[in-house]
Amino acid sequence: MQILKTREELAAWRETVSGTLGLVMTMGALHEGHLELVRAAQDFADTVLVTVFVNPTQFAPGEDFETYPRDLESDAEKLRQEGVDALFAPTPEVMYPEGEAQVRFDPGPAAKILEGKTRPTHFAGVLLVVGKMFHLTRPDIACFGRKDAQQLAIVTQMVKDLDFSVQIVPVEICREEDGLAMSSRNRYLSTAQRETALELSRSLQWGVENAEEYGSQALASAVHERLAAVPGIEVDYVALVDSEGYVPITQAGYHGKATLALAAKVGNTRLIDNVDLWM
């Protein structure tokens, strides 16, 4: 596996690639969920490039950019074991050589709700780095996890609206045996907090099991109430949204596929999770 650090190294490597290229973008601290993205890319493409870059533009002041876990050596070894062809691991100075970017993407109305309401600059920063990586790497396919479902919806919309010549491949959520959605931030949790965090996936499953009883108008509120009653959990939101456009479902009697999504803090660690269901 080649490790690329500069734009010049990346461009030279890209010229050697024949066939289709699959891209997996990460911020490192790789876990099994990231490796599932890699395996999906290998199923779709002849060559796979993984990026490891903790992107400063998607962190707001006071968020965990400085403390976000970083272990490039360990990440590289995991990727070697998966047979990844190349790893692009730039610094912020490589990705943003002029300093703060003056031109940004408008991520649209879907970025103003849920995650976007809590983190109002987040998705503009995500689309900036995704757009730059797409231009620099010129992939044929790019794999994104369904755990970041709102991000997946917004990136997919950007590709459609701005005519990026890349196919977005969604990959299912990877969970621990006890149901906790895999996340690089899980390592922040103490043993007791990790046990408390299991209530996120349990509440989502409870929502699936009780969707018919509560219906589209009351389900999210019922799950919110259940989760908020758990000591040690501070609920940010619970929402029932359209699985494609990520618009909240508010009409009574909705029938069709939907996504039940939530975000909550366990201690100081903010976690997200979601599950698809049929109403």
Catalytic residue list: 34
190 annotated to bind ligand: no
270 annotated to bind ligand: no
122 annotated to bind ligand: no
193 annotated to bind ligand: no
32 annotated to bind ligand: yes
31 annotated to bind ligand: yes
Calculate the alpha carbon distances from 195 to 189, 262, 266 in Å.
9, 17, 10
95 annotated to bind ligand: no
33 annotated to bind ligand: yes
160 annotated to bind ligand: no
25 annotated to bind ligand: no
119 annotated to bind ligand: no
Binding-site residues for ATP sit at 27-34, 145-148, 182-185
Binding-site residues for beta-alanine sit at 58
Binding-site residues for (R)-pantoate sit at 58, 151
Binding-site residues sit at 27-34, 58, 145-148, 151, 182-185
